[in-house]
A and B are shown apart, each in its own frame.
Chain A
Amino acid sequence: MQYQFDNGSRVPVAVVHCLDWRFVQQTWKFITKELGVLFFTPYSFPGGPKVFLDLETRNVFLRVLETVSIGHHGIQQVILIGHRDCKAYGGSARFGSPEEERETHERDLRIARDVITRKFPGVMVDLFYMEIVSMAGGEGKVEPQQVK
């Protein structure tokens, strides 16, 4: 089977998100349909933006952002997306309350943004958190919410 190939030279947006498949399809729909970003490079790794906090992964991801996304693709925007019940944080069960979990993720998203903008001052970084807004019987709804 063959798939249509678009060898366009448009500048993509870099998106860093967790590989948790419960959230991936919604993340892509959000990026393409709500944000209108059709051409993007997904950095998909456990914990998503958390890679910029952990010393072991931070340098690796900053390096590829520099060489590939900025140096090769010429990106000007990075979108960081965290999510509720992220296993890279031990899941929701690790936190004392939903508020504590949310605050931890928001704090880490801002730290990740600071790490990126300190290294690449010309790059705009937007933050979002995928919130589970309803859940019953294993099914529910998620909503991407902007973090300032």
Chain B
Amino acid sequence: MQYPFKNFHHVPTAAIYCLDPRFRTQHEQFISNELGFKDFDQYVFPGGPKVLADEMKRDIFLDAIQNVSVSLHHIEKIILIAHRDCGAYGGSAAFSNPEAEKAAQAKDLQIARDILLKRFPEIIVSMFYAEIIGENVEFNPIE
């Protein structure tokens, strides 16, 4: 089967989020439908933004963002999304309560944002937390 193809290189946004298959389509719908970015560089890896808080893995991603998203695609914004019950954190079961779980992930989001801003001071960084609400997922901004 063949698929339509457009040859473009300017991509205004990059997004870093977890590969958890339970959240895959919701991430894409949120970024595309709510945030309005149809085209974006997606760095998808277990734990998503947590990878930037990990000294062992951080540089691989920072270098890729530098070489591809910044230098080649000229992004202006990076979206970081963490999510409830993330296996990279041991899932919700690793925390004593939902507030502690969200606080730990929000802390890592802020670390990831600071690392990105230090390396790419001209880039805007936005952070979100995908919350499970009953049988739905809702994306809430993190300040």
- Chain A interface residues toward B at CB < 8 A: 1-8, 12, 19, 21-26, 29-30, 33-34, 39-46, 56-57, 60, 64, 67-68, 72-73, 87-88, 132-133, 135, 138-144
With A30-B1, A57-B60, A68-B46 as contacts: A21 and B22 at CB distance below 8 Å: no
Contact B68 A6 (CB under 8 A): no
With A40-B21, A135-B5 as contacts: A5 and B26 at CB distance below 8 Å: yes
Contact A22 B7 (CB under 8 A): yes
Shortest Cβ distance from A17 into B: residue: B44
Complex-state Cα separation, A140 to B11, whole angstroms: 19
Contact B60 A60 (CB under 8 A): yes
- Chain B interface residues toward A at CB < 8 A: 1-8, 11, 19-26, 29-30, 33-34, 39-46, 56-57, 60, 64, 67-68, 72, 87-88, 132-133, 135-139
Q: B interface, by DSSP: helix, strand, loop or mixed?
A: mixed
Q: A68-B46, A133-B2, A139-B7 are in contact. List 18 more A-B contacts (CB 8 A).
A: A1-B33, A1-B138, A3-B25, A3-B29, A3-B138, A5-B132, A8-B22, A19-B42, A26-B3, A40-B21, A43-B45, A44-B43, A45-B64, A60-B60, A68-B19, A87-B68, A138-B7, A141-B4
Q: A interface, by DSSP: helix, strand, loop or mixed?
A: mixed
Contact B60 A46 (CB under 8 A): no
Looking at the assembled complex, report how far the CB atom of A127 sits from the nearest CB atom of chain B, in whole angstroms.
17
Contact B137 A5 (CB under 8 A): yes
Q: Contacts of A19 on B, CB cut-off 8 Å?
A: 41-44, 68
Q: Contacts of B34 on A, CB cut-off 8 Å?
A: 1
Contact B1 A135 (CB under 8 A): no
Q: Contacts of B30 on A, CB cut-off 8 Å?
A: 1, 3
What are 9 pairs between A and B in contact, CB < 8 Å? A1-B33, A4-B26, A5-B132, A8-B22, A22-B6, A44-B19, A139-B4, A141-B3, A143-B3
Shortest Cβ distance from B19 into A: residue: A41
